[in-house]
Structure 1
């Protein structure tokens, strides 16, 4: 069954329109609750959210849906996505829900679901939930309606858990760290965790007001943190996104360090210690060819998946890998969690900074990336990639880059955008290829 509501990362859309209404959220609660009502125990769902104004509405609708089918609800308030995955598993809950649209603007929101093991649901489970949403809900009798409560120590539990990812002999004393929380879900926990390990923390993006999440701050808007790192003479900058499952680093010179370099650092460190599993790293088709070439030099493989951290994680679980992620900053370290966790990845980077004593600009320049260019083409409707003129331009570009680079073209799973990426040893050629394809897509759209 083809999924209509669920995309590459749950359900996402503009609030009060389309798939992201209170009515849909309540139906998700009823259907997901029914799907996970298994056995005779008292059933529980953990619900977390980021700091969007619409989170209150979506949360209330979900609570109504879950309780109406007999499931108890535990609400955490604003917490990172990986915290909800952790708490779902630790509290022996039957289901976890994160209300967030990640790096999207505040007008959007989303619903991500986790199973009792803390992993995101499979395509099959999401399809089954969609099927239940098309049917009348199985409402329980009045005496079996679920209860709802808020948990008060969720932040402390998560902070304690992420600190366990750092060796006990490591402290961050002497480090000055700028931490940008995107006015999002980690605005309390990420600065606290880094400070508790000894660093001097300069926090920014920690004043959410419901409408400023990801606005000119965070991992997708780096100008502010770059300037702050240089201004404060900090050793490093840590930039998270709205739900804190991705990380971008800024070195002491104000330069961006993406997920590929972070994965290379973490994988090489684990390899040196004999703790790397799977014989390599799992990333997506968007990761730089330079990462692949570097891993080959140290005897490791790079396995590529479709874009989306869920697909990276699926391959990691199949192949027994413990390091994976995306160039955009999703870092999945399965020794420490069941989904991407920007805070855990940040702590691992800071630990290496302490242990080696090198400046971030040296430590995090693990390999030389090949020239790579990504452009987005927004479109209003239709299927421009199926247009014959677009197919012809793409075929010509693939022939031109054969043996010298790569071409990746895909529609976004979260917004009406075609992403066009090319990379190769010749930067001029790469730019020309991308521009030709983008122009063809624009004309077709």
Structure 2
């Protein structure tokens, strides 16, 4: 079922190691060719295009593109009490963690009358996309909305695909979660067209108060399929984006002390998301590798989404990687840069401290990725495809801008005037120096 890659006894360069490791193949560039006309259609025709595209891709023509407020409120009444309790608890935990993320403003005095301040300012408006394809993700509503709210964003809009069995409305649990978070601007719009609506706005009116549908946003966040990723790539520069999220992935670094049942269950839990999901075990223990492979063979065929799981586990993006020791394993996982990295070793905390590239690190046998997906308090919108080498997961910082404020008085400027002029002359920009001299 799952392939093996044996790196024992081999000394590989970074490039050779990257080439040897499994990774999902996602062709965003090809998807962008398909997506570009969709973006142009929404930009040119607004609400009319959004309805046509919903009918084409979602099989339903929404009566309301903007979901009526009463439908959002009513969705809460239909929630299962246990689900409501889970959502409420997740909101509390995620809000507690994200409230601590906001960076502090600072002031630096470089001398009398010479001061530089830095302020963190939220963006004006954000568009938050919540997918609705193979699974329903109210948890993604929480992760996106709470981070933006804790950043101080004043205007939030959520989009999620219309559902045929919901009369063209988004999934009811998603609507209920929006209501519990105080979000009343929700659109029944999916896929690349939702990204276009957020980036360009949507001209035209809807039956809801006769209002213009959607004003442009400053930042678009949220996971999605390859077409959503392609759309985000194409609108980058018009708006900010969090990342071009690819298929989910889990890597587990484990030694012989790990429980094979736990490891197999965690690999299956991520494979459940998507046939392209990546599940990778890195271990120096051949015994553990064999035991995990056996448990996967036992459990995967009987899991409710077995077809999806089996496709994921048997794909080129998933593997058991055998290494000489934990040092070699750390080299592998740091090169891989997993979205989710579990450490299941004898000294899990110490090993975790040596990880340099991962979207989120889950330490020890009782910190599974499933905890982070819902209830840990951390954000589950994380970099995929190796992007953890250079970017972070979603958080309060995703919705903030650092603005520097410079304030010098005449004495402080005069003190550095000659050096500014010297710099300006050296760079062949004499008017820069004259701008200083003119003040004296």
TM-score for both structures, normalised by structure 1: 0.23
Query: Which structure has the larger Rg?
Result: 2
Which of the pair has the greater relative contact order for Cα pairs under 8 Å at 6+ separation? 2
Higher helix share: 2
